[in-house]
Amino acid sequence: MKKILALAAVLAFTASSAFASESHLKKFKFFGEGSFYGYTYENTFAYPKYNFSGTGMYAVTGFHYGINENVSATFSLGYTDVWGDGLEGMTASDFFDVLRIVEANVTFKNLFDVEGLKLKVGRQYYGDEDSSVMYFGIRRNQPLRMLAGAGAYGAGTVGSISSVDGASAYYKKGNIKANIMYGIVANGGPNGNDTVMGGDFKYLNIADMFDAQAYLYSWDNLFYGQRKYTIFGLKPTFKKAGLKASLEFAKNFGGAEVFSNTADNTNLVKADVAYKIEKIGLTPRVMYGVFGGEFKGFYAFGNTNLGLIGGQTIISHPTAAAYFDNRIVNVGADYIKNKFTFSFDIFDFGSRDGKDNKDAVKYGTEFDLVVKYAYDANTDFYAGIGHMFGGKAAEAINDNAAFDSSTFQAGVTYKFK
């Protein structure tokens, strides 16, 4: 895989010699995005009795180069950092230690002369950003993970930007969209890197109102010894006028072999309903989700992080590779007025094992308000405030004393291409 990555990087950098030719210079397309933000947290679920604040950022920049009509190369660098209470300044050496190659790949279009079929080889992003089970890329909804420095699983990990070394194939024609992948994922453990493989199939716009999705992935996890996790899921979506509703069910088979029937087997169930009222710019929405069970995790590489507080410290394992025994209810609404977007949310975080004693496994109830201002097509300013009223589960990690959590965040996001 190192040879493949090196080949992709060489092809990308070799293209830079074309700067001498104006015709080749036009084949370069530079892109980038990032965010600068300030934050303050008081008594997070992961850190009770601890207040911290500071500023942080992430930045990605790179280029695409069209080698010919069907072959292109992509190369990009990623960087994240924070400046907070008690954190020392960064030297130039520290900066380059954090900087990572997050993309270095070559894409071949119309493979085997099949229209709509392409192959991507090298270090790359993979998956849909809203996926519950498989996503490698920029995790834009995880500011706390950036500042905590935990990062995400991935070959090109930097803060909450992750990528995978491998190959992926994509096919898109008419209503059919499909992709498969094989990749190596760095886990930071002593037993070697993980292997992930599988695929996703979508049939879109059935009768102009339904989408159907099915996926199957296998994850050879070496971090905790030789374990295999197989993830199978279905997700139908209904769309009509302003209404959009989806129901996702996924099964996590885990153990020594693929499809093993062991105590690691858990489920993921997630239902979403939203209704967009175009005339007044209002979109009410509701979400109900169950992840894992009986204090066991649902192991995947999803990107479901909900809320400014609870979603950052309760839902996911620090490696962003597991959801731990959660039951989440979310009621919210988005309101758009001119260049402003107002988002209000209520989250109830608990455990699915709370049938007999709901208070004992209630993490807390969170209220969030986020305001975004679209300065122009590529720049947004935003500010958000959140407060969580802690439940019995929160007391258990704080010497049986109740505590609430709160946060304030503000920043700017940008992109160019």
Average the pLDDT over 103-124 and give the result: 96
Phi/psi class of residue 2: alpha, beta or left (left: φ > 0; alpha: ψ in -120 to 50)? alpha
The pLDDT of residue 127: 93
Highest mean pLDDT among 29-33, 297-301, 364-368 belongs to: 29-33
Tokens of 267: 């489920």
Query: Contact at 8 Å (CB) between 4 and 165?
Result: yes
| Neighbouring residues of 155: CB distance < 8 A, sequence distance ≥ 6 | 123, 162, 163, 164, 165, 183, 184, 185, 186, 193
Distance CA 334, CA 366 (A): 17
Say if residue 174's pLDDT is above 50.
yes
Distance CA 220, CA 215 (A): 17
The pLDDT of residue 162: 84
CATH class in words for 2-416: mainly beta
Sign of CA dihedral 323, 324, 328, 334: negative
Q: If pLDDT is split at 50, 70 and 90, which confidence band does 156 have? A: very low
Average the pLDDT over 46-50 and give the result: 65
The pLDDT of residue 321: 46
Distance CA 401, CA 297 (A): 26
Predicted TM-score (pTM) above 0.75: yes
Distance CA 124, CA 131 (A): 17
Say if residue 352's pLDDT is above 60.
no
Whose tokens are 């959801």? That residue is 323
Helices and strands counted in the chain (H then E): 6, 20
> Minimum mean pLDDT among 61-70, 168-177, 323-332, 349-358: which range?
349-358
Q: Which helix (H) or strand (E) holds 167?
A: strand 164-173
Strand-pair partners of 290: 269, 327
The pLDDT of residue 200: 96
Query: Contact at 8 Å (CB) between 179 and 86?
Result: no
CA dihedral 51, 57, 135, 78 (to 10 degrees): -140
Domain ranges for the chain: 2-416
Distance CA 268, CA 252 (A): 8
Distance CA 361, CA 355 (A): 9
Distance CA 299, CA 317 (A): 9
> Minimum mean pLDDT among 16-20, 44-48, 50-54, 262-266: which range?
16-20
